[in-house]
Structure 1
Amino acid sequence: MKKLYEKSDLSFAILWIIIYCVVSIPIRGSLGDESPVMTAALAVIAAGLFAFVKKFHLEEKYGLVKWHGSAGDYLFFIPMLILMTGNLWGGIKLSYEGMAQVFAVISMLLIGFIEEMIFRGLLFRSLLNRDPVPVAVSISAVTFGIGHIVNLLAGQGGMETVVQVFFAVAWGYLFTFVFYKSGSLWMCIIVHGLVDVFSKFAAFNNQSENIYVVSTIIISILYCIYLSRKPTALKYELDILLKNQQNEK
């Protein structure tokens, strides 16, 4: 793993995406989110990611640190927190009973951590060193959204998956901008995890789902425009890296 990372952090990111998909999709399709097997598999992946970052002291690079600046600089993350509750707008209903609901909740929290670490941490950071910022942001966001097409393999309906892709792309842009501007991934991890958790407590109906999707797209656009005018934490870190590389030459 370390040798691959040192050789190409982009290849390293892609490898983790493959591992995540290969492990989670078959389990999710056959056993479901409520399976303890699913929870255990996700826990192993999350532990592997966290251990790698901690072992090689990459917390700052991958955002496992407090955000730069005051919370007020990011509007106290209120747009994210509002959208985080969207799955509950149609009412509350447990998706499972007993321990199955507990396992589903834990799995959703783990997915929030894993997907943010992979798509915003590993993938976006590797792209940021190669491509212009708009390209890196877009690839991270769109890849995250398109990645939800794999839900078809887990038995999800076609139209539901299409809507979820657009929904996920909007969240992808929002999460990526927050990480890029704040330098911290924690708020993205927390919000992402709770969005998924609340989906397991949601009494879904078409009207509330449509309102949520439209609201997510509109608020994400406005929030990203606002954040685009704020100082950039990761740009500062990238400048330091480039200066260090130049000094070594």
Structure 2
Amino acid sequence: MSETLKVRPKVWIGLAIYIGYVIVVFVVQRLSGIPYTDLGESGGNLFLGAGLSLIIAAVLLAITTTLLGWWRPALFEQKRSIRWPIIAPILMVIALLINLASTDWGSYDGAFFAASVVLILVGFTEELTTRGLLLTALRARLSEVWVWFLTSALFALMHLMNALGGQAILPTLQQVGAAFLGGTIFYIVRRTTGSLIWAMALHGLWDFSTFAVAHGTPGPFAGFGTILYLIAGVLALVSVAFVIRGTHERTEAVQAPQR
């Protein structure tokens, strides 16, 4: 199916958007002067050290997507895949709920909670960057298996920024590995539901829940959320081939005529 877009999707455009996003977020976070390891100390730290960069990135991404005319291919599939692989995302939702149930909500004040809510924007920014715009660009030339792998791998590599922000290298590498699993789950959400919007919501709420459960004193079942997430990630790796199989989502768009 061909669509009339303002700019024809090309791989280099998607990679440029990805690199631009990483640079913007990194620079804004570093200009705040707040190390990654100190984000949880106060609402001000969390907003200036993380939330502000997400707000700026969200605005820039929305402008970029509009100028390119890529909203539809970035947000919606032409055809949904088979449904049963959605089991992995469902397990992730259960893990999310365990995190929220295990959170020490008494340790929150109003400012910290408000700043935490801003973090949900990460679902919009990171998903639109990787499994939205980058995915649209990659589909112009590459097979779907490469689209899945590269969007998941580059999403995972984003998290190396945390080491530059002060986090130790070992937990950062663990975060990168976990993010690849998460990226695969979000890709499956897009393919099985036909929309990136559900992946944005799951991503944003997941990050909120993992940050929330780490604040204060978590409940006794907090570790089960992480275990279930890893199980969901492994299941996603096993089942992703089934949502890739038979995919016909190549971007064969024609550029809009000049007026």
Provide the TM-score with structure 1 as the length reference: 0.75
Larger RCO, structures 1/2 (Cα 8 Å, 6+ apart) = 2
1:166-220, CA deviations, whole angstroms, 9 ceiling, x for partnerless residues?
Answer: 1111001111222234331011100110111113321477x97765444323222
- Give the helix-richer structure, 1 or 2: 1
Match of 2:21 in 1: 20
RMSD over equivalenced CA pairs, Å: 3.7
Give, in angstroms, the shift of residue 165 of structure 1.
Answer: 1.1
Match of 2:211 in 1: 200
Letter in 2 for 1:23: V
Q: Is the 8 A contact 2:96 2:205 kept in 1?
A: yes
1:217 aligned residue (230, 253, 256) = 230
User: What is the SS of the residue equivalent to 1:61?
Assistant: helix
- Length, aligned pairs only: 236
Q: Which moved more, 1:208-217 or 1:13-22?
A: 208-217
Q: Distance in 2 between matches of 1:76 and 1:174?
A: 7
- The change in CA–CA distance for 1:85 and 1:165 in structure 2 (over 3 A counts) is farther
Match of 1:183 in 2: 194
1:122-159, CA deviations, whole angstroms, 9 ceiling, x for partnerless residues?
Answer: 22222233222222211111111122111011111222
Q: Distance in 2 between matches of 1:75 and 1:173?
A: 13
Q: Distance in 2 between matches of 1:113 and 1:145?
A: 16
1:162 aligned residue (160, 173, 182) = 173
Q: Is the 8 A contact 2:127 2:196 kept in 1?
A: yes
1:59 aligned residue (54, 71, 77) = 71
2:161 aligned residue (138, 147, 150) = 150
Runs of at least 5 residues in structure 2 that lack an aligned partner in the other structure: 1-5, 40-44
Letter in 2 for 1:229: F
Q: Which moved more, 1:71-80 or 1:116-125?
A: 71-80
Q: Is the 8 A contact 1:145 1:168 kept in 2?
A: yes
Q: Distance in 1 between matches of 2:89 and 2:195?
A: 12
User: What is the SS of the residue equivalent to 1:131?
Assistant: coil
Q: Is the 8 A contact 2:98 2:225 kept in 1?
A: yes
